[in-house]
Structure 1
Amino acid sequence: MLEWSTDEELFALMRTELSTCPVSDVMEQLGFLHPMLPPEIRPVRSDLVLVGRAMPVQDEPPVPYGVPVRFDAKPFGLLFESIDALRPNEVYIASGGPIHAARFGEFLSMRALALGAAGAVINGSIRDAGRVLELGLPVFAQGTYAYGLQRRHNVVDYRCSIRIGEVRVRPGDLIFGDGDGVCVIPHEAEREIIPKAVAKNRLERSVREEILAGRSLADAYAKYAVM
Structure 2
Amino acid sequence: MVDSGSDEALFASLRDRLFTAVAGDVLDRMGHRRQFLPQAIGPLRADMKIVGRAMTVLEADVFDDVSVTGRGPLSGRPFGLMMEALDDLAPGEVYIATGSSLTYALWGELMSTRAIHLKAAGAVLDGYVRDAAAIEALGFPTFCRGIYAQDQGPRGKVVDYRTPIEIQGVRIHPGDLLFGDREGVLVIPAGAEREAVGRALEKIATENQVAAAIRQGMSAKEAFETFGVL
Give the aligned residue type for 2:131. Answer: D
The whole-number CA distance in structure 2 between the counterparts of 1:208 and 1:134 is 37
Q: Which residue of 2 aligns with 1:112?
A: 115
Aligned-pair identity (%)? 43
Give the aligned residue type for 1:203. Answer: T
The normalised TM-score by structure 2 is 0.91
Checking the alignment, whether the CA contact within 8 Å between 1:41 and 1:182 is kept in structure 2 is yes
Q: Which residue of 1 aligns with 2:221?
A: 218
Aligned partner of residue 150 in structure 2, secondary structure: coil
Q: Which residue of 1 aligns with 2:37?
A: 37
The whole-number CA distance in structure 1 between the counterparts of 2:103 and 2:121 is 24
Give the aligned residue type for 1:97. Answer: S
Q: Which residue of 1 aligns with 2:85?
A: 82
The whole-number CA distance in structure 2 between the counterparts of 1:61 and 1:16 is 38
Q: Which residue of 1 aligns with 2:128?
A: 125
1:160 to 163, 169, 174: 163
Q: Which deviations, in whole Å up to 9, do the C-alpha atoms of 1:162-203 show, x marking residues without a partner?
A: 111111111111000011100101111112211111111211
Gaps of 5+ in 2: none
Q: CA RMSD in A?
A: 1.8
Q: Which residue of 1 aligns with 2:104?
A: 101
Give the aligned residue type for 2:138. Answer: L
Aligned residues: 221
Q: Which residue of 2 aligns with 1:56?
A: 56
Q: Which residue of 1 aligns with 2:141?
A: 138
| Higher mean displacement: 49-58 or 96-105 | 96-105
Checking the alignment, whether the CA contact within 8 Å between 2:68 and 2:76 is kept in structure 1 is no
| Higher mean displacement: 114-123 or 95-104 | 95-104
Q: Which residue of 2 aligns with 1:14?
A: 14
Q: Which residue of 2 aligns with 1:209?
A: 212
Checking the alignment, whether the CA contact within 8 Å between 1:97 and 1:152 is kept in structure 2 is no
Gaps of 5+ in 1: none
Q: Which deviations, in whole Å up to 9, do the C-alpha atoms of 1:6-53 show, x marking residues without a partner?
A: 111111122222111111111111111201111110011111111001
Q: Which residue of 1 aligns with 2:25?
A: 25
The whole-number CA distance in structure 2 between the counterparts of 1:205 and 1:105 is 40
The whole-number CA distance in structure 1 between the counterparts of 2:55 and 2:7 is 15
Q: Which residue of 1 aligns with 2:200?
A: 197
Checking the alignment, whether the CA contact within 8 Å between 1:76 and 1:150 is kept in structure 2 is yes
Checking the alignment, whether the CA contact within 8 Å between 1:51 and 1:176 is kept in structure 2 is yes
1:185 to 167, 173, 188: 188
The whole-number CA distance in structure 1 between the counterparts of 2:8 and 2:194 is 15
The normalised TM-score by structure 1 is 0.92
When residues 96 and 204 of structure 1 are mapped into structure 2, their CA distance, relative to the original with a 3 A threshold, is: same
